[in-house]
Structure 1
Amino acid sequence: MDWSVVAMGCLLVLVALGGRWWERAEARKGAGPVRGARFFWAWLPLLLGLGMIGGNLPRLLHASYAVVMTMDTLNLVLAVTTVVLVLRAARHFFRGRGLRTLE
């Protein structure tokens, strides 16, 4: 089961790279990149995939305790970075929308 998580992480990294490639191909055609879509198609799958790979691969390869703890610390930094980026994207998304009153 753990190898399937690593494989899914690799798939997410490939999706992120494909999304980045697609964005560049569309930009060459003259379409402007969409700011919110760029985050979700390129960065979010990449960060999640790297977290999934880094969380399980050292244990599956029977790495030393120091390597496992280093990867866990890097995964924590990665998780905090992902939460900050998602909150910034949500702020950007909801910034233009005000609260609607019941009138």
Structure 2
Amino acid sequence: MLRFMDWSIVAMGCALVLASLGVRWWERDKGRKGAGLDQGRRFPGAWFLLLLGLGMIGAKVPGLLYAPHPVVVIVDTVNVVLAVTVLVLVLRAGRRFSWARVPRAHE
């Protein structure tokens, strides 16, 4: 039963990666049709899903495939880098969102 739950986490990570590719394709198609896209909002949305999915996949796959210890350590290090990157993207998006809500004083 535990192996099934581990593989379901890997499947969810794959679904997030595919969703990221779908969002990116949809934004690119929308941009071709002439709809104005906010370049600042484009980047974190698709990348957030991609990095989150890759982190989920990287967390479980080495253990499920009985990878040697050095491989597990390398993948865990890459997962830490992905986690920090996701944190930076979320903080940047939150800051951008909070600045958008602050009313500006008229001069």
Scaled by the length of structure 2, the TM-score of the pair is: 0.86
Aligned residues: 98
> Which one of 51, 55, 65 corresponds to residue 55 of structure 2?
51
- Aligned equivalents of 1:10, 1:28: Cα separation in 2: 27
Per the alignment, residue 24 of structure 1 pairs with 28
Cα distance per residue 1:47-87 (max 9 Å; x no partner): 10000001100110000000001100110010001001110
Unaligned runs of 5+ in 2: none
Per the alignment, residue 61 of structure 1 pairs with 65
1:37 is displaced (CA, Å) by 5.0
**Percent of pairs identical after alignment?**
59
- Aligned equivalents of 1:98, 1:16: Cα separation in 2: 30
Unaligned runs of 5+ in 1: none
- Aligned equivalents of 1:66, 1:38: Cα separation in 2: 33
After TM superposition, what 4+ stretches of structure 1 lie above 3 angstroms from structure 2? Answer: none
SS at match of 2:74: helix
Q: Is the 8 A contact 1:23 1:38 kept in 2?
A: no
> Which one of 8, 14, 19 corresponds to residue 18 of structure 2?
14
